[in-house]
A and B are shown apart, each in its own frame.
Chain A
Amino acid sequence: DTEVTQTPKHLVMGMTNKKSLKCEQHMGHRAMYWYKQKAKKPPELMFVYSYEKLSINESVPSRFSPECPNSSLLNLHLHALQPEDSALYLCASSQGSVLPTNEKLFFGSGTQLSVL
């Protein structure tokens, strides 16, 4: 299994809602990532987990809260989002500990989030 699975594929939420994005991989990868991508822009790193510990937080607003319950799962909890948070949210994983020099990322298909 070489897939990173993200659910849901699409999400529409109001600014007062609380929702969660889920990501799962069964490749035994020990590093997992959340990226945000606006239309026609490159992916922007949000968070990195290495061995289930948060290792990078790219100064992301607290309305985004990541969680790594185990080595296969990664969640992104959303609360009180703004319309400008509408984007494609991508999860990725890599084999070892936080992207050693010669590793590639495996990406999920993303969750297209719309905040109304």
Chain B
Amino acid sequence: SQQGEEDPQALSIQEGENATMNCSYKTSINNLQWYRQNSGRGLVHLILIRSNEREKHSGRLRVTLDTSKKSSSLLITASRAADTASYFCATDGGRGSTLGRLYFGRGTQLTVWP
């Protein structure tokens, strides 16, 4: 499977703490994306990092990418109860993959307690 694998599968923290989720993948990539999904809803794009980038920030989000280890991490700082959701990484499969396919990992379920 070319899908990413998120780690941990579930994470439970208190408000104000930082949350770190990791994603590993198997093939080369052109970019890696992170999405959030609230229960029973659609996915919302959070951030895209290109294969030639190592780190990217967006508000309270920080994403890192290590292509040599085929891994990425998503850090949410100063978490809030509203951050409770499932977080998925998604990769495009890199060169040779069919355009249009985005491979989603299994996801991390984050619960932030007030």
Cα distance, A92 to B90, chains bound together (Å)? 14
Q: Does A66 contact B (CB under 8 A)?
A: no
Whether the pair B99, A90 counts as a contact (CB closer than 8 A) is: no
Q: How large is the interface on B (under 10, 10 to 19, 20 to 34, 35 or more residues)?
A: 20 to 34
CB contact between A108 and one of B33, B42, B102 (< 8 Å): that residue: B42
Q: Which residues of B contact A101 (CB under 8 A)?
A: 30-31, 50, 92
Residues 86-114 of B, flagged 1 when their CB comes within 8 A of A and 0 if not, give: 00100010000011111011110100000
Given contacts A105-B43, A107-B42, contact A99 B99 (CB under 8 A): yes
Whether the pair B100, A33 counts as a contact (CB closer than 8 A) is: yes
Q: Does B45 contact A (CB under 8 A)?
A: yes
Whether the pair A42, B42 counts as a contact (CB closer than 8 A) is: no
Whether the pair B99, A98 counts as a contact (CB closer than 8 A) is: yes
Q: Which residues of B contact A74 (CB under 8 A)?
A: none
Given contacts A100-B99, A102-B31, contact A43 B43 (CB under 8 A): yes
CB contact between A102 and one of B30, B41, B88, B106 (< 8 Å): that residue: B30
Whether the pair B43, A90 counts as a contact (CB closer than 8 A) is: yes
CB contact between A56 and one of B50, B101, B105 (< 8 Å): that residue: B101
Residues 83-98 of A, flagged 1 when their CB comes within 8 A of B and 0 if not, give: 0000010101000011
Which A66-116 residues have a C-beta within 8 angstroms of B? Answer: 88, 90, 92, 97-102, 104-110, 112
CB contact between A31 and one of B33, B92, B100 (< 8 Å): that residue: B100
Whether the pair A110, B31 counts as a contact (CB closer than 8 A) is: no
Whether the pair A42, B30 counts as a contact (CB closer than 8 A) is: no
Which A36-79 residues have a C-beta within 8 angstroms of B? Answer: 40-45, 48, 50, 55-56
Cβ of A67 to closest chain B Cβ, rounded Å = 17
B-to-A contact residues, CB < 8 Å: 3, 30-31, 33, 35, 40-45, 48, 50, 88, 92, 98-102, 104-107, 109
Pairs across A and B, CB under 8 Å, 18 listed: A6-B42, A33-B100, A40-B109, A42-B88, A43-B104, A44-B104, A48-B100, A50-B100, A56-B101, A90-B42, A101-B30, A102-B31, A105-B35, A107-B43, A109-B42, A110-B40, A110-B41, A110-B42
Q: 4 nearest interchain CB pairs?
A: A107-B42, A42-B104, A101-B30, A98-B100
